[in-house]
Amino acid sequence: MKSTAFTKFHEALGARMVPFAGYNMPIEYVGINQEHATCREKIGVFDVSHMGEFWVNGPKAEGFIQKITSNDVKALNDGKIQYSCLPNTKGGIVDDLLVYRFTNEKYLLVVNAANIEKDWNWCVKNAEEMGLEIGKELSNNSDEICQLAVQGPYALKAMQKLTDDSVIDMEYYTVKEISFAGIDKVIFSTTGYTGAGGCEIYAYNADADKLWNAVMDAIKEFDGMPVGLAARDTLRLEMGFCLYGNDINDTTSPIEAGLGWITKFVDGNDFINRPYHEKLKTDGVEKRLKGFVLVDRGIPRQHYKVLDAEGNEIGEVSSGTMSPMMKQGIGMAYLAKGFWKDGTEIFIEVRNKKLKAEVVKMPIFKGQIPEVK
């Protein structure tokens, strides 16, 4: 099992460590509810060094990414980021990912930890067909890079103390290469998987100690804390963000998953298996991923059946939890046609009981997130 460059810090803090995607990762430090609320209201710091990073360089970079991803890479400008997915040839998704554009000949693909090997093999296969040189124009640098996600309304204010470059006013889904915390160059981006605002900082493993210590010191003023993967999951689920392996996989189309907004059927975007997904968009789908909130008391879990009032099966839960902010069971489920409208009554089968729930528009958590400058 692999460790990240920050593992020694997690262990020193007494974090509960668990195997995740081949890494020894912190699941929680002081408790999921406290960590979740701190990220929503103050600052939470996540070790996400297990994520994968692939560089794509050279004159063929844009064309390669345009082929393998569903979004329109040509719409990106320098310093911008795009959420996208890698369609496979069977109607599903190899993975969802972020595409960072630095120039039209320099891109970074950030992929899910559990899919690094699968994604790399997929990228190599397609890159070789397009004549890219593996190791030069397409390279896998996942093992060399550490990453902290600093999330919450005070995140950028705290991180501004560690750099002379302006980061506090960075727009959502943008990226810079800057000097930070005494490190000559880091990648500083503003995406996030929590809905609480904030940033990500990528550095080489050799600079991990310097990065961790500086960030931990900077968040003290705002009562920030490190946060584990358990709260990362509840935070993303309150926002209705997809998790690969739960809400999307090798058999789900982005159209079914409500990701039509990252599936661009524009001229010149001839991504892999485009005709299949375009037909789904035109003809309609039989199932769709929707958010829901339990009216009755209970906790929904992945694979629980979804029923109508008569007890007929109409879907399946893909992700579910107890919302720390709402104090209600929440989740996402693939539902049959006719049950997609907000406010529709559905039932989740939990331990042979039918618990009443209601379909809701995402994000599921509608609370106000304070904006701090």
- Clarify whether residues 23 and 172 are in a common domain: yes
Helix 61-68 with 116-129: angle, nearest 10 deg: 120
Structurally, the chain folds into a number of domains equal to 2
User: What contacts 131, CB < 8 A, 6 or more positions away?
Assistant: 60
Domain boundary among 237, 268, 295: 237
pLDDT at residue 26, as a whole number? 98
- Clarify whether residues 35 and 161 are in a common domain: yes
Domain boundary among 209, 237, 265: 237
CATH assignment at residue 311: 2.40.30.110
> What are the phi and psi torsion angles at 23 (to 5°)?
-115, 155
Rounded CA Rg of the chain = 21
Residue 217, domain member (yes or no) = yes
Assign 367 a pLDDT band (cuts: 50, 70, 90). Answer: confident
Mean pLDDT of 231-245: 98
CATH assignment at residue 200: 3.30.1360.120
Write out pLDDT tens, residues 156-204. 999 999 999 999 999 999 999 999 999 999 999 999 999 999 999 999 9
Instruction: Give CA–CA dist 348/334, Å, rounded.
Output: 12
Domain that residue 45 falls in:
7-50+143-237
Is the predicted pLDDT of residue 370 greater than 80, yes or no?
no
